[in-house]
Structure 1
Amino acid sequence: MGERQTLDPADLPTLRQLSVASVVAVAIAVVLGITAVLPAELGVDPTGVGNMLGLTELGLMKQRAEELTPEIDPTSAERSDTLSLTLQPGQGAEIKAAMRLGDTMEFLWVADNGPLFFEFHGDETGKPARDFTSYEKATKQRSEGIFEAAFNGKHGWYWKNRTKQPITVQLTTSGVYQSISKQ
């Protein structure tokens, strides 16, 4: 082992020197917090230095990004479903998926015995059913696509059989939505 060195108390800082160094360190931390951290993190710039250094814009960009980023809900998980229903002549029926803003669903529906009149639409949570949003209205034998919910609510299809024979429609969906069911 090496030779043990002893410290000379004269070489150590005094209590006054330690106190001054601590006060200076705290003062520097406060100045940096006010001039750099507040503008960069929160977009708050009481001195104007953060604006001169471009830090205020950084903080405001961070706030805008947080506002635009949707909260991730752990209950929204990828899922797949297949449902079918048989419509007698003149009969109508609906299948709707409960979705949140930004949820996406890939879909394919096929009618087995001819075209069906349909309306793809959404009912926003908290609004009267008569205030629905229509996405597509047509007569087809099949339809497919990817849908992104523009609001929280139920989104889906109303089909009506305008022919003289029964028609079975099969709907296959996959994506992020809470549930899907016949209405």
Structure 2
Amino acid sequence: MTQVPQPGIGELPSLRQLNRATLIAFGAAVILVTTVLPAEYGVDPTGVGRLLGLTEMGETKQADAASHAAPAPPAVAAPAASPTPALKAGEPVEVTLTLAPNEGREVKATMKAGGEFDYRWATDGPEVRFELHGEQTGAAEGDYTSYEKGSSAGASGKFRAPFDGTHGWYWRNRTDRPVTITVTATGDFEKFAALP
């Protein structure tokens, strides 16, 4: 059996060196919690990140990453979205979906360039992360155009398609309870439905 040599008293760190190393590690932990987590992941346990404007940046990064990533299969069966009724010109189409905590889903309209629709969407209370975006017909996987993103409990307005393709919203529930979103649209589209 081989014996491992033991360090001598002169080779051990001093109390001052141990205290200095501890303070450096503590400082790094403070920076991690107050700036890195809010700026990169939108996680702000202390509230300092929100005061510095870093939390919104992190939430936006996470929404971008989620909208670019292929949707992961849900751990539980996805709640059913309302079916798309047969479209009649000028009649509103309503889609309702429920997002589990940290789940993301999309509702898209298939449109021709120049087509317009009026829309209104709202949650049953809490704000969700959203991005209004579009994919051009024939575009490469992951290639899309972002029109608007942020956090809200609802929005309304008019949308005009800049190109042929699909246009709509991606929502992500960042709360710890299910959130129901109802979106209504009236206008020039071939299809308006929730994506699986």
Instruction: Calculate the TM-score normalised by the size of structure 1.
Output: 0.57
Alignment of 1:126-141 (within 5 A): 126-141=138-153
Alignment of 1:23-34 (within 5 A): none
* Separation in 2, partners of 1:167, 1:133: 26
* Separation in 1, partners of 2:91, 2:165: 17
Higher strand share: 1
SS in 2 for 1:130: coil
* Separation in 2, partners of 1:129, 1:81: 28
Pairwise CA distance, 1:177: 0.7
2:129 counterpart of 1:117: yes
SS in 2 for 1:106: strand
The residue that corresponds to 2:191 in the other structure is 179
The residue that corresponds to 1:96 in the other structure is 108
Question: Which structure 1 residue ranges, 4+ long, deviate > 6 Å from structure 2?
Answer: none
Q: Deviation per CA, 1:12-56: give whole Å up to 9, x if none.
A: xxxxxxxxxxxxxxxxxxxxxxxxxxxxxxxxxxxxxxxxxxxxx
SS in 1 for 2:92: strand
CA-atom RMSD in angstroms: 1.6
* Separation in 2, partners of 1:164, 1:151: 37
* Separation in 2, partners of 1:126, 1:76: 27
Out of 136, 161, 177, the residue aligned to residue 149 of structure 1 is: 161
Q: Which moved more, 1:88-97 or 1:77-86?
A: 77-86
Q: Specify every segment of 5 or more residues in structure 1 that has no aligned partner in the other structure, as ranges.
A: 1-74
Instruction: Calculate the TM-score normalised by the size of structure 2.
Output: 0.54
| Counterpart residue type for residue 178 of structure 1 | E
How many residue pairs get aligned? The number is 109
The residue that corresponds to 2:175 in the other structure is 163
- Computing the radius of gyration from Cα coordinates, the structure with the larger value is 1
| Counterpart residue type for residue 121 of structure 2 | W
2:150 counterpart of 1:106: no
Q: Deviation per CA, 1:101-143: give whole Å up to 9, x if none.
A: 1100100000113000011000000111311000001000011
Pairwise CA distance, 1:79: 3.7
Pairwise CA distance, 1:77: 4.0
| Counterpart residue type for residue 153 of structure 2 | Q
* Separation in 2, partners of 1:76, 1:114: 32
Matched-pair contact (CA < 8 Å) for 1:123–1:129: no
The residue that corresponds to 1:22 in the other structure is none
